[in-house]
Amino acid sequence: MMSAKTFLRSLIAFSTLTASLCAQTRVPHHPLDALTTDEYWTVHDVLQQSGHLTGKTLFSSVLLHEPAKDKVLAWKDGDPIAREADVILEAEGATIEARVDIVARKLEFWKPVPGVQAPITESELDTMSGVAKKDPRVIAALKHHAVTDLTGVRCEPIPITWMIFPEQAKHRIGYGDCTDSHGVYHPWGRAIEGVYILADLTSEKILNVIDNEPVPMSQGDINYEEGEATPREGTKPLLVTQPLGPGYKIDKGEVVWQNWHFRFRLDPRVGAVINLVRYQDGDRLRSVMYEGSLSEMYVPYMDPGEGWNSRAFVDAGEFLLGGLIKPVGPDDCPAHAQYFTGLVPSGAGAPVLRPQLACLFEHASDSPAWRHLEGDVISGRPSRELVLRTAAVAGNYDYLLDWIFQQDGTIRVAVGSTGIVETKGVKEQTVAHSMGEEPGKLGHGTLVAPNLVAVNHDHYFSYRLDLDVDGADNSFMVDRVVLEPLTGHTRKTIWATQSSIVHTEKDAILDLDLRHPSMWQFINPTQHDARGYPTGWEIMPGATAVSSISLEDPAQRVGAFSGHQLWVTPYQADERYAAGTYVTNSGGLQGLPEWTKANRSIENTDIVAWYTLGFHHVVRLEDWPVMPTLWHDFLIRPVNFFDQNPTLTLPHQP
């Protein structure tokens, strides 16, 4: 006879397997669903049959081309589904855009785009590493640095974000260093410092090799993969099970949980794209957000040295490399999580299956939905959350990207930064660090191991949030906290709120100011709650940072969105990426800085919010050899959307 424990395990396994199978589909159920395997092949075949492709054509990007927003909102289950794909290709240094009508199996256009460069592909990096390791100048430089066994050596001249070398004007140029992973599992912390390579990625030639004075390579133990998994004293099993299955439902791609309704797809460039977010409020299914996603990432390093002053990465736009997000596993997601498979294009345009690109799970939160003690009576309710988690991996860094739906109508958007800090080889093995009355000398990093400095840097994430509060036509309202002087009172000064509608997009470029705080609300001026307030949702910042680097700096010009916490623009279907579509070899000031120059109206129309989440990273010893996860977040929460607290009647068990 089956024991209760065995039955429970079987039930959980069956529920998980069933959910995983349901998460995979060979046909789209909705116009905003991700491209399927068959659709990838259709795109490939149409382009192949067009006669435009050659043996040197590389697919840099294949993405869903979303139908017009009004058509999506009018679409009903059972209606025909229009499907198109946008493709970026690289052919011998030229960048080409193409669009394929998947249903009609038709090439809509093939358009060379001068003056821009397509994102880098894995095949380009692999090819150039092999070319570099055969170049006599590279071999001689490596020998000068005491590296003669090239088994573990990889050289990566990667495309440069902005114009540095004159060769970039007419060629696809890469610049980078070499690493040696001999004796370790990964190359981070094993750079062959002082050897830098300039390469033409199109002609596959090494243009120049810079060979500076060698510095000792750090020999510290970086094999964290072999670290023991030892329970600390007092550790006991901590188990969460859902023997009756998850509390959410997924029907043809729509997730329904605790009054929330939403869809999502896994996009190769930006990761999870959340669509058609709605909330069931009594007998009304009310719109909250048409679409939300990461838009861009910007990571500039702060070292003036040769080989380092060129390091500023715009990760989503530069390095698709098999998709921005990578698989998550049991150390990322709880045992009861459901996993979702995704697809990315190969360099030849073929679909590549990526298992476990996202996980979805619910859990009891660490705080009550509400509570109050009156007399001896504690009243309150516990709460639970639904988490959609992905993990972006950009070289050495990993970022857990969470969309967290809460029962009170709040969406918490969180970024957990972890992975490996980028390091620079140095001569020093220890530091003589002392502080006197005068400020210390300028520092650009932290000596995390002998001969190894982790360089200071920033992280900025732009989120594109197409809020549709009770409909598409919204306005942006700022509630400012202003001082109110008093006379004839005990108090001399209090503060009050002063609301104003922002009329144009330049006036909606805003920054946090703790001395002059404000609340950022997106309201529907035609819909009102029971008290007469316009219904709205607020973007509420958490701990964050803004770039103080001047726009005269060429790296900052490319990542210019990081100069402000909030931007608001009128909805335009082709405005999707905060730093522009093409960020390699860029002159900068593309995307948000370019669009907002028109200073368009954002009043009572379809508008989009762009929120910048960021932090300055001054590295600690505790961040090495792998960084503890550091979380930053912001909230998207209702303001006068409900007539009262929507969690009043939650059960006493989460």
Q: pLDDT digit string (tens) for 366-377?
A: 899 999 999 999
CB 176 within 8 A of CB 196: yes
Phi/psi region, residue 270 (left: phi>0; alpha: psi -120 to 50; beta: rest), is alpha
Closest residue by Cα to residue 330 from 385, 410, 389, 407 = 389
CB-based burial, 116-131: b 16+ in 10 Å, e otherwise: bbbbbbeebbeebbeb
Tell me: pLDDT of 15 over 70: no
Tell me: pLDDT of 439 over 80: no
Output the pLDDT for position 11.
44
Determine which helix (DSSP H) or strand (DSSP E) holds 402, and give its type and residue range.
Answer: strand 397-406
The Cα–Cα gap between 264 and 302 comes to: 36
pLDDT, average across residues 555-562:
97
Q: Is 168 helix (H, G, I), strand (E, B) or coil?
A: helix
CATH number, residue 151:
3.10.450.40
Tell me: pLDDT of 52 over 70: yes
Question: Does one domain contain both 284 and 354?
Answer: yes
Output the pLDDT for position 251.
96
Give backbone dihedrals phi and psi of 410, rounded to 5 degrees, phi first.
-85, 140
Whether 298 sits among the annotated catalytic residues: the reply is no
Residue 8 in domain: no
The Cα–Cα gap between 576 and 574 comes to: 6
Phi/psi region, residue 172 (left: phi>0; alpha: psi -120 to 50; beta: rest), is beta
Question: Does one domain contain both 324 and 206?
Answer: no
Confidence category of residue 25, pLDDT binned at 50, 70, 90: low
Residue 73 in domain: yes
CATH number, residue 415:
2.70.98.20
Residues 6+ apart with CB under 8 A from 25: 33, 36, 253
Question: Does one domain contain both 397 and 527?
Answer: yes
DSSP string across 405-465: EETTS-EEEEEEEEE---EEE-S-SS------SS------EEEEETTEEEEPEEEEEEEEE
| Least-confidence region, from 4-8, 54-58, 376-380 | 4-8
> Which residues pair with residue 298 across a beta bridge?
460
pLDDT, average across residues 431-445:
77
User: Measured between alpha carbons, how far is residue 602 from residues 393, 507, 528, 591, 627 in Å?
Assistant: 35, 10, 20, 17, 41
Output the pLDDT for position 221.
86
Question: Does one domain contain both 146 and 40?
Answer: no
Confidence category of residue 22, pLDDT binned at 50, 70, 90: very low
Residue 10 in domain: no
Annotated catalytic residue: which of 290, 301, 397, 399? 397
Question: Does one domain contain both 103 and 181?
Answer: no
Of the residues 87, 112, 137, which one is the last residue of a structural domain? 112
CB 196 within 8 A of CB 210: yes
Tell me: pLDDT of 507 over 60: yes
Tell me: pLDDT of 582 over 50: yes
Output the pLDDT for position 8.
41
Output the pLDDT for position 139.
98
Whether 399 sits among the annotated catalytic residues: the reply is no
Domain count, the chain: 3
Determine which helix (DSSP H) or strand (DSSP E) holds 592, and give its type and residue range.
Answer: helix 592-595
What confidence tens digit (pLDDT) does each residue in 122-153 have? Answer: 889 999 999 999 999 999 999 999 999 999 99
What confidence tens digit (pLDDT) does each residue in 109-118 have? Answer: 999 999 999 9
To the nearest whole number, what is the mean pLDDT of the chain? Answer: 93
Tell me: pLDDT of 24 over 70: no
Question: Does one domain contain both 107 and 142?
Answer: no
Annotated catalytic residue: which of 33, 177, 267, 315? 315
The torsion of the CA quartet 128, 129, 135, 140, rounded to 10 degrees, works out to 150
Residue 437 in domain: no
pTM higher than 0.75: yes
pLDDT, average across residues 246-255:
97
Confidence category of residue 23, pLDDT binned at 50, 70, 90: very low
Output the pLDDT for position 1.
43
The Cα–Cα gap between 38 and 15 comes to: 28
Confidence category of residue 461, pLDDT binned at 50, 70, 90: very high
Question: Does one domain contain both 168 and 46?
Answer: no
**Angle 642-647-648 (CA atoms, 0-180°, nearest 5)?**
100
The tokens describing 101, both together, are 């009508």
Tell me: pLDDT of 544 over 90: yes
Neighbours of 424 (CB within 10 A): 22
Question: Does one domain contain both 186 and 272?
Answer: no
The tokens describing 332, both together, are 């990322």
Of the residues 62, 87, 112, which one is the last residue of a structural domain? 112
Confidence category of residue 319, pLDDT binned at 50, 70, 90: confident
Question: Does one domain contain both 189 and 280?
Answer: no
The range of the structural domain enclosing residue 47 comes to: 16-112
CB 82 within 8 A of CB 103: yes
Of the residues 193, 217, 241, which one is the last residue of a structural domain? 217
pLDDT, average across residues 417-446:
86
- The letter for the amino acid at 598 is A
Output the pLDDT for position 635.
98
The Cα–Cα gap between 651 and 487 comes to: 49
Question: Does one domain contain both 139 and 102?
Answer: no
The Cα–Cα gap between 277 and 259 comes to: 11
Residue 646 in domain: no
Residue 518 in domain: yes
DSSP string across 551-583: TTSHHHHHTGGGG-SEEEEE--TT---TT-S--
The Cα–Cα gap between 582 and 267 comes to: 17
Confidence category of residue 436, pLDDT binned at 50, 70, 90: low
Residue 476 in domain: yes
Output the pLDDT for position 433.
67
Q: How many residues does the chain have?
A: 654
Question: Does one domain contain both 128 and 102?
Answer: no
Residue 71 in domain: yes
CB 289 within 8 A of CB 650: no
CB 400 within 8 A of CB 415: yes
Question: Does one domain contain both 54 and 138?
Answer: no
Give backbone dihedrals phi and psi of 136, rounded to 5 degrees, phi first.
-60, -35
pLDDT over 90 for what percent of the chain?
89
